[in-house]
Amino acid sequence: MEIEKIFKNIIIIDFAFLILIAINTMYQPLEITDIKNNLNDGYLTKFDSLSSILGIVLFFLYLITLNLLYKFISFGKQLYLFVVIAGITFNYLNGSVVYTSFSGLLEQIGGIISGAILILLYFSPIKNNFVNK
């Protein structure tokens, strides 16, 4: 029972960091935005609307997936792995990124939390809670 409580707390922390990252992204300093505009474009930057829509879809899909994991719904386990891999691929295809120190810290902690969730999902007794009912 203790590991379930830890798992749920990690999911709540991940949600909080996701919201912090979203808020921080909206308030980037102008200098960072100017530097980013002068960097090499990624594959998806040629399709601005597709990139924006895909980013928003991944964001909301991640929120839904966190909810599924919190409730131990079996479909959430596979969906979380898919969303994490899709997010990494999306970030790669978007091109170069410039971070402030705070943004970089949030991104790194978010990655650590996602890794912790994946480890708990696939290599701990938590995986037994996600069997099909």
Query: Contact at 8 Å (CB) between 1 and 126?
Result: no
- For the segment 97-117, the average pLDDT, to the nearest whole number, is 90
Condensed to tens digits (0 to 9), the pLDDT of residues 26-51 reads: 887 777 777 766 766 666 666 667 77
Using the predicted structure, report yes or no on whether residue 115 has a pLDDT greater than 60.
yes
Q: How many domains does the chain have?
A: 1
Of the candidate ranges 2-6, 11-15, 17-21, 35-39, the one whose mean pLDDT is the lowest: 35-39
- Domain region containing 86: 2-130
Full-model pTM: 0.85
Helix 74-94 with 101-123: angle, nearest 10 deg: 150
Hey, what's the torsion of the CAs at 76, 74, 115, 10, to 10 degrees? 90
Considering only CA atoms, which of 77, 85, 84, 63 is closest in space to residue 124? Answer: 77
pLDDT at 55 over 90: no
Residue 133: band (very low, low, confident or very high) from pLDDT cuts 50, 70, 90: low
What pLDDT, on a 0 to 100 scale, did the predictor assign at position 47?
65
Concatenating the DSSP letter of every residue in 94-126 gives HB-----HHHHHHHHHHHHHHHHHHHHHHHSGG
Q: What is the pLDDT of residue 29?
A: 79
